[in-house]
Copies of this chain bind each other. A is one copy, B any other.
Amino acid sequence: MIYELYYWPGIQGRGEFVRLALEEAAAPYVDVGLVPEEEGGGVPALLELLDDASLEHPAFAPPFLKAGRQLIGQTANILLFLGDRLNLAPRDAAGRRWAHQLQLTIADFIVEIHDTHHPLGAGLYYEEQKPEAKRRSKQFLQERLPKYLGYFERVLKCNPAGARWMVGARVSHVDLSMAQVVAGLRYAFPSASRKALRASPRLRALHSEVFSRPRIKRYVASGRRQGFNNDDIFRRYPELDR
């Protein structure tokens, strides 16, 4: 089975959470958005599948994953599916559910991170909502960031199998996603995240551990991992980082 991932080219975005799972499992996949248009990839290929009126299970937005005849949308739903397939989730129902619950809480966190630079909506440019972005970022950095980080640190601390991983005794999709969020926060808010992460030694260790894994290291070194940039969820606007 060769998976087909559909996501906007040029940003890591929500697609990166899926990519990290595929990479960690060394699962064969085509990153359709990154395939040249002349070879049937790129944005036209995405839009074709988004708009295809004959689809039984159309997606609202990328990312979506083609796995054989199945088309699966929503990042956390894709990871729920891949977690089982790629052995990146607990095997028991309660453990899988707990991992999924955490993945959904990460998804909520990501929305709030995105909204720091787009509080008035994605339909306006950042430049059209800068004062509002400053107010929202201030709120976020003062209240929400410590609340989320404190929660995830607590999750690591209360894992009965030890604080190395978020769920159970083995790496899961939750760890990969959590490490990606830490990396993104460090890119977007270098100063504020350094301060906020002081109280989260386990999360810092998790980030190091994930990005030291041989396959993740190889992926990052390959040049295939697109860089963080200011068209993405995590954006570095120094005026928001205070």
Contacts of A100 in B (CB 8 A): 74, 77, 80
CB distance from A8 to the nearest CB of B (A): 16
CB–CB A57/B101 < 8 A = yes
Question: Within residues 153 to 167 of chain A, which ones have a CB less than 8 A from any CB in chain B?
Answer: 154-155, 158, 160
- A121's partner among B53, B59, B144, B158 (CB-CB below 8 A) is B144
- Residues B76 and A104 in contact, CB atoms below 8 Å apart: yes
Residues in B with CB closer than 8 Å to A212 are none
Contact with B along A144-185 (1 / 0, CB 8 A): 100010010011001010000000000000000000000000
Chain B residues in 8 Å Cβ range of A140: 121
A57 CB to closest chain B CB (Å) equals: 5
Q: Does A124 contact B (CB under 8 A)?
A: yes
Contact A97 B77 (CB under 8 A): yes
Contact B136 A104 (CB under 8 A): no
Q: When the two chains form their complex, are residues A132 and B120 in contact, meaning their CB atoms are under 8 A apart? A: yes
**Chain A 95-121: CB-based contact to B (< 8 A → 1; otherwise 0):** 001101100110010010001000111
Chain B residues near A59 (CB-CB < 8 A): 101
Contacts of A135 in B (CB 8 A): 120, 124, 129
Shortest Cβ distance from residue A114 to the other chain B in the assembled complex, whole angstroms:
11
Interface residues, chain A, with chain B CB atoms under 8 Å away:
53, 55-60, 70, 72-74, 76-77, 80-81, 94, 97-98, 100-101, 104-105, 108, 111, 115, 119-121, 123-124, 129, 132, 135-136, 139-140, 142-144, 148, 151, 154-155, 158, 160
Q: List 9 A-B contacts (CB under 8 A).
A: A56-B158, A60-B105, A70-B97, A77-B101, A120-B132, A120-B139, A123-B142, A124-B135, A124-B139
